[in-house]
């Protein structure tokens, strides 16, 4: 049975500004790098067999920091990218309201659908399971993608809590279903003054 540890990337300046990143390639900031190092230190004494990551630098750098501590290399998969935010990428809520009005979320602004994210994310997860049927695999991705996949994979678990930067959620595939052993855990950040 495959075990997957979903990790949300470390924080970026755009996360702090609450700016829609989407697939814009925004790097980690220094706090995000410290978060990645803290998670790497936490995971280095655990058994993980592979590390996959989105090709966007914030996820890839988080994954590379973790993989280095584990003595592994990162396998990059663009299907693990964040939601494509269309015309709202790079904007904050205030910008969107000024440009499109308070009902901007009901407009067709080229934002990727949940169904599209689920399709590509599930395809990546199934391929990882096929390649690692008995392994423990870390998947470093993004808040919207992970947050959209988890209710599909573990519908019997409350996944409504906002996923924190560098949080880890561990699920294990048992036959055709998944069980959640850890959700949105950031205990590794306790020693950081964030």
Catalytic residues: 9, 82
Closest listed residue to residue 127, CA positions, set 67, 167, 78, 85: 78
Strands 168-174 and 3-8 come out as: antiparallel
- Distance from C-alpha of 60 to C-alpha of 9, rounded to nearest angstrom: 8
Q: Are 169 and 185 in contact (CB under 8 A)?
A: yes
Which segments within 20-134 are labelled E, that is strand?
50-53, 74-76
Q: How far apart are CA 5 and CA 114, in angstroms?
A: 21
Check if the beta carbon of residue 141 is closer than 8 Å to that of residue 7.
yes
């Amino acid at each position: 049975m495959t075990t997957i540890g979903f990790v949300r990337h470390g924080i970026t300046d755009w996360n702090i500004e609450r700016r829609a990143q989407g697939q814009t390639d925004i790097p980690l900031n220094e706090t995000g790098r410290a978060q990645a190092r803290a998670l790497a230190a936490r995971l280095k004494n655990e058994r993980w067999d592979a590390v996959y990551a989105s090709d966007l630098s914030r996820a890839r750098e988080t994954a590379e920091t973790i993989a280095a501590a584990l003595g592994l290399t990162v396998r990059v998969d663009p299907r693990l990218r964040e939601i494509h935010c269309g015309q709202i990428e790079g904007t904050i809520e205030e910008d969107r309201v000024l440009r499109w009005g308070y009902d901007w979320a009901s407009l067709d602004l080229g934002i990727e659908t949940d169904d599209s994210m689920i399709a590509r994310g599930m395809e990546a997860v199934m391929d990882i399971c096929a390649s690692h049927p008995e392994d423990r695999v870390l998947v470093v991705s993004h808040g919207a993608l992970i947050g959209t996949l988890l209710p599909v994979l573990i519908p019997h678990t409350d996944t409504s809590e906002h996923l924190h930067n560098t949080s880890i959620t561990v699920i294990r595939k048992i036959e055709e279903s998944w069980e959640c052993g850890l959700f949105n855990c950031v205990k590794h950040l306790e020693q950081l003054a964030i």
